[in-house]
Amino acid sequence: MTTAVSPDAFEAYLERAVERLDASSPVRSLVREHFAFGDPQAKRGKRLRPRILLAVAETEGARAEEAFAAAAAVELLHNFSLVHDDIEDGDELRRGRPALWARYGIPAAITAGDAMCALAFTMLLDGAPGTSHAAGAPGAERALAMSAALHRALYALCRGQGADIGFETSPSVTFGEYLAMIEGKTAALFAASCELGALAAGAAPERAAAYGRMGRAYGLAFQVRDDVLGTWGTPAETGKPAGADIRRRKWSFPVAWAMSGSASPDRDTVAQAYASIGELAGADADAVIAALERLGAHDAADAACDAYIADAVATAQAHDLDRERRLANIFSSTARRTA
């Protein structure tokens, strides 16, 4: 039976990985600030994707440290997407602190994000210095397979983000279009995290692909839950204004699901609000949220989240994955998260 590695050990590894960036360039200091390295009081990310990757690697018989490079790669790629997402959405705060673009300008933030993306793939190919992984890096074939998996996730992420941006000016988005968007924007990197964890442990490509399918289902559940919080979460829970997604007329699971239903006064309320221009006023957003509740969108989202989790568990059982149920425990602890 494997033992979960200390989160502090991976955090230290991730910080050393960032130190690979050129010390003479301001980019490294920007990336360090984004990750809040050197500030023990700062709120940092959940490191959920690395946790999943490391759990898979250990389940498949590897030591966690042997998968640190891959775990750092997915976390760097995820944070690259967050830096660019903040710019595209105009969000001035990230984890309660000024977003990089808000403090240093858009060009500097774009460059810092690009550096994280480049460093992610560097980590896959040769690991970080001063670690056992660098001394025994995976073979060329495995490294290429891992790089290909992460490149596929990156392309899917860009495709999903592009669709999400396009939705902002669209008065109508089908439920299928919404699902395709979250497949790319969110589920793809969860799938890659699971697949890379298996590959880092030396699993066969077919087994790694099965882990990827499990991760995809979990990623869909994660995004649906995120959409629920963006609609019904409280400021105390999320750190954002109540109904933040609705105020911005964001196409989320509750909205796309409701709009796919039969015509009704409540559906008309949602449609009219999303056909308008600009941010919704508080009263208008409240009316949309109430209409979504009456339409059953909240219950539908909860049911979809449960169904995706069940899909992930079923995939694990069908292929004898997650024997110690470490991934299932991570899934269950985050499927009903409040932040």
Checking DSSP bridges between strand 93-94 and strand 97-98, what pairing results, if any?
antiparallel
More confidently predicted of 322 and 5: 322
**Which amino acid appears at position 116 of this protein?**
M
Beta bridge partners of 93: 98
pLDDT value at residue 135: 40
- The residues near 214 (Cβ < 8 Å, ≥ 6 apart) are 194, 312, 315, 316, 321, 322, 327
Round to whole Å and give the CA distance between 65 and 50. 12
Measured from the Cβ of residue 233, the count of other Cβ atoms closer than 10 Å reads: 23
pLDDT value at residue 218: 94
pLDDT value at residue 125: 86
Measured from the Cβ of residue 145, the count of other Cβ atoms closer than 10 Å reads: 18
More confidently predicted of 17 and 322: 17
Beta bridge partners of 97: 94
| Residue-averaged pLDDT of the chain | 90
Q: Name the DSSP letter for residue 148.
A: H
What domains, with CATH codes, occur in the chain? 1-137 (1.10.600.10), 139-339 (1.10.600.10)
- What the block records as the tokens of 224 is 């649906």
Tens of pLDDT, residue by residue over 304-339, are: 999 999 999 999 999 999 888 888 888 777 766 665
Tens of pLDDT, residue by residue over 280-310, are: 999 999 999 999 999 999 999 999 999 999 9
